[in-house]
Every structure is written in structure tokens, then in C-alpha cells.
Amino acid sequence: MKAAVAATGILLACSMPAHANEVSEAHGCFTSEAMVIDRAGDVVIGHSEVRGVTDSTPPGAIWDKTTHHCRSVWTSSKAGYEFSNRCTNVDRDGHKFFTMAFGSSLKAFKWVYVGGTGKYAGISGGGDASIEQVYPRATPTIGGACWRGKGSYTLGK
């Protein structure tokens, strides 16, 4: 369950693209609330809702100071863990871009841009991210973590 809570915010980490044909780095932190949807033996299926903030490295890059709101579905069992999420990311000007993250490990997972509004219309690209720090839970279902990611993007016309 701890991994599921942390994984949900991952998407956010991935939401820092670079200028066309350049690599950009991002890092952020989030809180996550997880709930179990169902159980079957040792298999647990859950949902997490994640909210947080992202900064660029170095500061001031195009997507610096964005916020994100993600929803994740995950499965955890003795056989392993996997997740997939969708996130709405909003920049300081109110423009939005949408991302998806997925993987079977919080140490290394993938993310992609799935669309955007305003200046991000037609965005595509993606990258890699990881959870760097998991914080103690505030309650059995509420936790927090920080992530870091690298990626690139192109804007469609």
C-alpha cells in the first residue's frame, strides 16, 4: 500500500518537459490518499489521488512552479506491483498539460504527455522518473513523497 500511495504522485514528477529537442529535469513533492478497491487473496487493487507541486532544474525553466492533480490505479501482490495514472498539470499562466505515468517500480518508471490546452496544445513526448523520498504516513491511507524526472517534448501546430 505504501508503494501505491507513492506511485500515484510519480506522474507529477514526469511533468517537466524541455524546450523542443532539449532535455529538461523536474522535481516535486506530493501528498497521496489511497483506498483499496478490492482484494482477492494476496492481490490488492487500489486507487490513489495525488496533489502536489513541481519545480524545474534549474529554476525558471518553462514549466517551473506547476501544480498537479493525479488519479492512479494500482495492483499489489506477492508477484509484484504495477500502476498507471493520469494527471492534470497547470502552469503559472493557467495553461494545462496532461500526462500519464506507468510502471512496475517506483525506482524507475515512464511517463508521457497525452495532450494540452493553450500554449501546450498538441504537446507530445515523455521521459523517465523515480520516487526519491517517501515520508511517514499521516494516517494509514495518507502519505507523501518526492520525485525527480527527465524528459523532452515537442509542440504540435
What the chain holds in terms of domains, given with CATH numbers, is: 2-154 (2.40.350.10)
The confidence band for 56, taking pLDDT boundaries of 50, 70 and 90, is confident
**At 17, is the pLDDT very low, low, confident or very high (cuts 50, 70, 90)?**
very low
Tell me which H or E stretch contains 12: helix 10-13
User: pLDDT per residue over 83-118, tens digit each?
Assistant: 999 999 999 899 999 999 999 988 899 999 999 999
In the structure, what pLDDT confidence band is assigned to residue 19 with cuts at 50, 70 and 90?
very low
Residue 153 dihedral angles phi and psi, to the nearest 5°:
-150, 165
User: What mean pLDDT comes out for the span 113-142?
Assistant: 92
pLDDT greater than 60 at residue 24: yes
pLDDT, position 21: 54
Under the banding of pLDDT at 50, 70 and 90, the label for residue 14 is: very low
**Residue for cell digits 516535486?**
28
Give the Cβ contact number of residue 103 at 10 Å: 20
- Does the model's pTM come out above 0.85? no
Q: What share of the chain is helix, strand, coil (3-state, %, to 5)?
A: 10, 60, 30
Cell of 150: 527527465
Q: What is the predicted pLDDT for the residue at 61?
A: 72
Rounded CA gap, 121 and 115, in Å? 6
**Residue bearing cell 504522485:** 9
Average pLDDT in the 33-60 region? 93
Q: Report DSSP state, residue 95.
A: -
Mean pLDDT value across the chain: 85
